[in-house]
Amino acid sequence: MFELSSKMNDERIEEIGENHVGTSAKTPLRADAFDITDEQKIEKIQESVKDILTTLGMDLSDDSLQGTPKRVAKAFVNELFMGLNPKNKPKASTFDNNYNYGEMLVEKNIVVYSTCEHHLLPIIGRAHVAYISDGKVIGLSKMNRIVEYFAKRPQVQERLTMQVVQAMQEALGTQDVACVIDAKHLCVNSRGIKDIESSTVTAEFGGKFKEKDRKREFLDYLKMDTNFD
């Protein structure tokens, strides 16, 4: 009975991984996720990476590989997955809309570097974020930082899109926020079906952006040529 249950669970895990199913709108974190320090996490991850490379047959005494476990561990904690830690959440400072700008503001082509949580391979693309002020405005660079914060974690693109919108809504005190992300997943491009041409587009529309005309206006802005070279 245990073997059958284990086999069924393995099959379910494989199916989820291949189909990129997101199981929650929130990043799944354990309650004790931050009971140890970043330095302690780096030490533990370093040993795990060392075990992986050794299991694969790599000679870690080689000059090129000696520092790899430490480099990978530091990259995981301080860079690739720094968005897991709430202490790194950007302060989304807002200001009064004193100039009474009433149209949508669109920040296009925000670079997305994330990591697929199913295979730990890169997701690379662009995010387009828009909002309509309800009395507050947010610094442009803060929009980039919000995208970066939620991207820098093991992620599912659908969840990332929703998290960006929810964070912007919370900061601005309005539901009138939208986000579209177009990205390539290396778990599709470099393994499995190995389709190097395909990309994935996700969208989340809140408040007025659910209206047909507003949604169309936003999407039309994305078509504009903003190459100023």
Among residues 64, 63, 73, 203, the alpha carbon closest in space to that of 129 is found at 203
Q: Tell me which residues are annotated as active site.
A: 116-119, 157, 185, 187
The DSSP H or E segment spanning 115 is: strand 104-116
Q: Is 155 helix (H, G, I), strand (E, B) or coil?
A: strand
Q: Is 130 helix (H, G, I), strand (E, B) or coil?
A: strand
Q: Which residues pair with 193 in a beta bridge?
A: none
With a CB cutoff of 8 Å and minimum separation 6, the contacts of 134 are 172, 173, 174, 176
Name the DSSP letter for residue 119.
T
Measured in degrees and rounded to the nearest 5, phi and psi for residue 138 equal: -125, 145
